[in-house]
Every structure is written in C-alpha cells, then in structure tokens.
Amino acid sequence: MIGADKRDKQNMKRSTHRRIITANVDGKSVVQSDEQLSAYEFSSVPGYEHTFIWVNQTTPDLLTEPRLDCYPDSVVPGPGGTSLHFVTFPPSTVFAEPSFDGAAAQKEALVRLRGLADHFEKDDPAMHRTNTVDYSIVWEGEMWLELDDGKTIHLERGDVVVQNGTRHAWRNKGTRPVTMLFFLNGAKEQKKHDEQSKP
C-alpha cells in the first residue's frame, strides 16, 4: 500500500505560469510572445520551485525593444532595474531531514539564483539582504518572515511585505508548500552600518 506522503508526491505537478509579453510594432501594440513557463524544481531541495518571469537589469529604454533571450547573469537587478519571480517554499522540515545535503543545495542555488544566493549567510542560508526594495506577496499558503533579533511576522494569503533592503529570512513553519510572488526593485548600494554611524 502506498503511503499518503508518497501519493502526494506522485500527484504533484510542476507549477506553470503564463507569461504574455507585448511590444510596439509600426506604432501598434502587439503580442510579442505568449507562453507557459514551467517552474525550475530544485533537485537538492524537494518541493522548492523557482519561476523566473522577467528582469530589467537597469532602467529600461522603451526606444529599444526589451528582450530576455537567455537566463541572466543575476536574478537581482541593478539600480533602476526590476525582476519578477514566483517561488514555492517547501515546509522547513525538509531541511531537517537526514538526507538533506546543505552543500548540494548551496551549489544548486548559486547556479539557479545567481546574484541572490551569493548573499545567503553561511551560518543561516535562509538569511540574506540585497540592495533592492522588494514587494513580496503571499500568493498561496502561509509564511513567516523573520527579521533581526528573531522578530517573526506571520503572513497569510494576500499579505504584502515591502522589504526595504533589510536582512531577513522566509520560513515556512507550516505543513504545506507556500508560493510567494517577488517583485525586486534595484536600489543604490547601502552603506555599512559602521559607515552610516560615522559623523
């Protein structure tokens, strides 16, 4: 007899999101592309998915046609740029499994989440900070946002966090996957705290 957990895994389908891109051709608005994007499934972290939707590394110039012909060198935009992502987080218990390989997960993240995984902290890889202002939306499920000093905020579907370049971690303390939508806005680089405190 197949266990309930195994049945659930067998019935799980990779997430897909429809992406429609428009363009201006001969003075008229047209559809440049219309396609289903399949989520990338991390082999090192069961249930962890990332769907990369779009990036403008810097302020876009509409006089030239914005295109995304290949996977970017960084999923984190520079000043004036933006990027959009769907991320599905498995329950945090996945990371406590004896079979979990932290080194393999870090290696895979550095390839898939280049420009972001570089900021994951060594002692707690979930903790990170980027030079961006992020609009973080709970798309489905419940999530916990952790800030400094262990401050934790429980979030439910539809809640929005405006992350102003702060150190944080996303924790799925529940028993079901959580999907988040992240809109990253590239900002000027922050000065270190000790530099800011100087007269």
CATH of the domain at 114: 2.60.120.10
Name the residue range of residue 181's domain. Answer: 39-189
Residue 34 domain flag: no
The pLDDT of residue 12 is: 58
pLDDT at 3: 40
What Å distances lie between residue 111 and 105, 106, 108, 144, 192, CA to CA? 10, 9, 5, 26, 27
Domain presence at residue 106: yes
Tens of pLDDT, residues 61-106: 888 878 888 899 999 999 999 999 999 999 999 999 999 999 999 9
Query: What pLDDT digit, counting tens, does each position of 127-162 carry?
Result: 999 999 999 999 999 999 999 999 999 999 999 999
The answer, yes or no, to whether residue 4 has pLDDT greater than 80, is no
Q: How many structural domains does the chain have?
A: 1
Domain presence at residue 6: no
161-184 tens-digit pLDDT: 999 999 999 999 999 999 999 999
| Residue with tokens 């990253």, as numbered in its chain | 184
Domain contains 108: yes
- Kindly indicate the confidence band of residue 1, based on its pLDDT and cuts at 50, 70 and 90: very low
In a domain, 3, yes or no: no
| pLDDT greater at residue 155 or residue 123 | 155
Give 114 or 6, the one with higher predicted confidence.
114
Distance of CA 41 to the CA centre of its chain: 13
In a domain, 80, yes or no: yes
15 lies in some domain:
no
Domain contains 118: yes
Q: What's the confidence (pLDDT) of residue 129?
A: 95
Query: Quick check: helix, strand or coil at residue 90?
Result: coil
In this prediction, residue 193 carries a pLDDT of 52
Stretch 185-191: mean pLDDT, rounded?
Answer: 87
Given a contact cutoff of 8 angstroms between Cβ atoms, the answer to whether 189 and 131 are in contact is yes
Which pLDDT score, from 0 to 100, does residue 144 have? 98
